[in-house]
Chain A
Amino acid sequence: MSDANRSRHGSSIGQPVTRRDGMQKVTGQARFAADNNPAGLLYAALATSKIALGRVAFLDVAAARAHPGVVEVMVQENRPALAQHPDDKSVPFSFKMDLLQDDRVRYAGQPIAVVIAETLEAATEGAALLAPRYEAEPVEVTLDAAGAYVPETVGVGAPAEMRHGDVEAGLGSAAFRIEATYETPLQFHNAMEPHAVVAAWDGDALSLDMPTQGLALTQMRLASLFGIRMQDIHIRTPFIGGGFGSKLLSGPQVLGILAARLVGRPVKLVLTRAQMYGPVSHRSPTRQTLRMGAAADGGLTAIHHHLRTATSRFDDFLEPSGGVSHSLYAAPAIATTTEAVRLDTGTPGFMRAPGEASGSIALESAMDEMAAACGMDPLEFRLRNYAEVEPVSGKPFSSKALRECYTEGAARFGWAGRPLEPRQMRDEDGMLVGWGLGTATFPAMMFQGEARAVLRRDGTGVMESGTHEMGQGAWTAFAQIAADSLGLSLDQLEFRAGNSDLPNAGIAGGSAHTATAGSAIHSAGGQAIERLTELAVADPRSPLFGAGNVGVVARDGRLVRRDDDSRSESYSDILGRAGLDMVEGRGSAAADPAVAERYAMHAHGAVFAEVKVDPDLGQIRVTRLVGAFAAGRIINPRLVRSQYYGGMIWGLSFALQERAAIDPRTGRVMNADLAEYHVPVNADVPSVEAILVAEEDPYVNALGVKGVGEIGITGTAGAIANAVWHATGVRVRHFPIALEDITGALEA
């Protein structure tokens, strides 16, 4: 890092700048993939399987073809050839796809044909007219399925088993012990924008409007599938209507591209809401057994976190729920173990905080039960077991302001004076009131990313990086980082993003997009400034001539001598005199293995929840949520707060609402729409607050930022479950908590 770069103090970073795309979004001007209508466009509709296992015996293709407006029906026989098998997973983060490669059905909702028509209505009716007949086989779709096995890995290559210390000895020596099993449900992706694609071929060149969280990876997989060159694939993804881990490249999108190839015209394919419950991944159910022991003084002696979860019959992704137990609480003995079953469902995958969300609700519930067993306040108990170093690895944390999160959150919430025993508080209307706490945690990760910066003779700058605006405000935050890196104000900067022709910004996932692409942008800007500095300090005509040794800083479109504010020169003057139209800088970023070797890197938080419960009817309402989070440097507090709100609301959903009702007889999801698959509405979230706790991290990356996108779910769901217990005295261990769980227990 150059001196010039290091010493600049930012003017945009840290400001609560409003979203640059806000006006476009609220006025309907933001153009999402499905809003594109190129000339000659046709519409494609998927036909999906109603059975979960077996084969398609018959499709009435003739009836569909005969329907007015239908142009073509794509089935196994006429599906254009692929250069790579859809099961090939050589591209990172890939899953097997169902691209009409055979007549087998392996889950309900699997695409079995595509109808292409002049109108969406004709395509949809054409798909209905296919009236498939099946040969169905018996299915298994719940965690009770037979054939449990012990996998080697969970998540993306994480070990499925971890043992640190002697858990049995720890439990044996404990003064207090708990053992409890928690169940989390099958959940489906329901981003506002369903998966969509508008595809147009020109020879072997492919033009796509398509939401994706990973432009380069998507390009790479499409290049392999179609046997074409990456640079011939142009993807525009200026706005993504929510991704949450489901929007890398999905099978249905590839089917849309195949359909365009088949008919030789541009094709639009948009999933219906119901079609999202199958081929675009989901969060699998989990059953987690926690065994914990604590000494008489409340110090944990052991944690055993055992996970049973599921993947599909044909591919692998296991929700890594045990991971949270590795890093959060100091215990001399910690073990996580896993068993899994294979189900006749689509393949699970990344869903916001995959593993952390489901694991956290179990761990935080167990911590609450353990605190109660020890007769301690849940906050005091967590502080008693505060991890000063990462328990399993013994590494110091690169930074950890969790203690401050507890303190600031508790103060804001008014935690002090909380009665230890449950069912002690009532409001003026006689509602039971309960307070609960959960610790939030999410690892700070980095992928690889690149950026390109340009300073132009007119004094403006350009930053290019193929980043992804998923609704989280990336476009704004990256522009802020870019402006600072180039010493420009936001309005002097053009930020180009959301396009595969730009430098590869890595994926928007793992809460690592800002860290990754932001660091690349920061370094690209730094390099452009360095180039400019070289021009200036070597030029005897510049007021900065000879400043090389003491260095300069970039500020407001000028280079300024560090030791003398009065000596400065504008970018335009420097470039003009050098006879250049521009200077360019390139930057890249990636995780530094040496740092990872030395430090444990996580964001943390503490979430406090108040619930009210109707004592007779069991209806629960979360009346207050206060989260305090420490995630390194905050680029834009307004956007970050929104990320926390969104995560916390999802946590509420996790604790109280979300559940896919899958019929074990057929494997079909019986509530595949937003009327019946419940997520919170405004009335469910009367008050949510997020506190940004200061944290400086000199190690994680050049910017010192950790991720904020996923952590909000963790902690929150457990805090709510714990508050429900505190209100009612009823400990519900399966989620979402339902009315009858409360009234049933109160009656009993």
Chain B
Amino acid sequence: MNRFDYVRPRTVAEAVAAAAVPGSAYLAGGTNLLDLMKIGVARPDRLIDLNYLPGLDVIETLPDGAVRIGTQVRNADLAHDRDFRERFPAVAEALLSGASAQLRNAATVGGNLLQRTRCAYFQDTASACNRRSPGSGCDALGGENRLHAVLGWSEHCIATHPSDFCVPLVALGAVVEIEGPQGRREISLSDFHLLPGTTPERESVLTPGELIVALRLPADAAGFAAHARYVKLRERTSYAFAVVSAAAALRMEGGRIVEARLALGGVAAKPWRAEAAEAALAGCLPDADAFRRAADVALEAARASGDNAFKIGLARRIAIRALTLAAAGTPERTPALPASPFAPITGGLHV
């Protein structure tokens, strides 16, 4: 690991000012950043520690009913917050399906949004990688790319965004609040991450020095609480990134879907909201046919970027499963194996 300066700002303004110096990086839980520093992928000159900033670790309900989550709220604290879990069960389930208990205790909201791809070539400094080193090429093409993107990729980069948390968030229309040298702004989460195009090194709309201060879930997002699920396929029962995942949320009236939300994870460089599929579901009966049609729409543009054609079919199936489970109703308690197809197994105690 390179030598670096360590800065501990006392206010958000101080943090933003400190980060204006080129070569700076914000340190939140450190579960991604420090790992990348150890393997030489990230080599910041200055770490701006967010862990001592006041007021950023609060979950609050705003007068309009929206919920605002400070960026330093830990993934575990958010998932286990009773009110939050009741209003946004799919978000809690997604959080609990990610990483391990220890990691969730450290990981933060902002850090989760901004975690880097798990593409092996991105993590290997001897490989060509446009995202890490613009213009160097992409060794994932023609390499170990079983788990790479099937939507929104380009020849310049086929990586996926690995977050579980972001998938239901984007489905529910979350908004990111940003503080920066130019002041405060906010942006919808679905516009926050960028597809690779010809500039895969640009992963989000953040400009240098900008700080995520909070995430907001609009009041209407709680309207899906009765029918909201997250399902995640992975190569072991727990503690693995998604091969593909889906968040589905339905607002039902009189046995019909009034409004649907659907997003996919593990398929693209951003959490993939499937708006056309959502539109296709509005007004439908929640049956297998409707779900199949919606899933087809969601994956219409999908194409393999390598040895991953199977992910297209799997993504379609997981979308159907998530919709089916959402239609059946949110379980009273978060399943013992959150987001697992094996969630119904009784007696499972592990997360």
Contacts and interface: CB of A to CB of B under 8 A. Distances in A.
Interface of A: 50, 68, 121, 124-125, 128, 274, 429, 431, 612, 614, 616-619, 621, 623, 656-657, 661, 663, 665-666, 668, 670-671, 675-676, 678, 680-684, 686, 738-740, 743-744, 747
B144 A619 contact: no
A612 B342 contact: yes
A683 B318 CA distance: 21
Contacts of A676: 118, 120
B314 A665 contact: no
A50 B121 CA distance: 13
Contacts of A612: 342, 345
B310 A684 contact: no
A118 B233 CA distance: 46
A738 B313 contact: no
B1 interface: yes
B348 A686 contact: yes
A617 B236 contact: no
Nearest to B235: A678
Nearest to B120: A670
Given A683-B238, A739-B314, A743-B314, A619 B3 contact: no
A617 B318 contact: yes
A183 to B, nearest CB: 16
A739 B143 contact: no
Judged by DSSP, the binding face of B is: loop
A391 B234 CA distance: 43
A686 to B, nearest CB: 7
Given A125-B1, A675-B118, A680-B236, 5 more contacts: A125-B3, A617-B318, A661-B144, A666-B127, A683-B348
A526 B39 CA distance: 55
Contacts of A125: 1-3
B317 A616 contact: yes
Nearest to A621: B342
Most A CB contacts (10 A, CB to CB) among B234, B317, B337 go to: B317
24 contacts: A68-B3, A128-B2, A274-B39, A429-B344, A429-B345, A617-B233, A621-B345, A623-B345, A663-B139, A663-B144, A665-B139, A665-B142, A665-B143, A666-B126, A670-B143, A676-B120, A678-B240, A681-B236, A681-B350, A684-B237, A686-B345, A686-B348, A739-B310, A744-B310
Nearest to B336: A683
A682 B350 contact: yes
A621 B235 CA distance: 10
Contact of A738 (B39, B121, B235, B318): B235
A612 B348 CA distance: 14
Contact of A678 (B139, B236, B348, B350): B236
Contacts of B1: 121, 124-125
Contacts of B55: none
Contacts of A656: 236
A675 B235 CA distance: 11
A262 B280 CA distance: 72
B313 A747 contact: yes
Contact of A743 (B39, B241, B310, B337): B310
B206 interface: no
A616 B342 contact: no
A740 B321 CA distance: 17
A683 B345 CA distance: 11
Interface in B303-351: 310, 313-314, 317-318, 320-321, 337, 340-342, 344-345, 347-348, 350-351
B90 to A, nearest CB: 18
A431 B337 CA distance: 15
A429 to B, nearest CB: 5
B120 A616 contact: no
Interface in B131-145: 139, 142-144
B40 interface: yes
B317 A743 contact: yes
Nearest to B140: A670
B313 A743 contact: yes
Interface string B280-319: 0000000000000000000000000000001001100110
5 shortest A-B CB distances, which residue pairs? Answer: A740-B310, A50-B126, A670-B120, A683-B350, A683-B237
B239 interface: yes
A125 B139 CA distance: 25
Nearest to B344: A429
Contacts of B234: 619
Given A668-B126, A670-B120, A743-B310, A681 B144 contact: no
Contacts of B240: 678
A683 B337 contact: yes
Given A125-B1, A125-B3, A617-B321, A739 B120 contact: no
Contact of A681 (B127, B238, B340, B347): B238
A645 to B, nearest CB: 16
A548 B174 CA distance: 90
Contact of A617 (B120, B314, B348): B314
B351 A683 contact: yes
B144 to A, nearest CB: 5
B237 A663 contact: no
Nearest to A430: B344
B264 to A, nearest CB: 14
A740 B144 contact: no
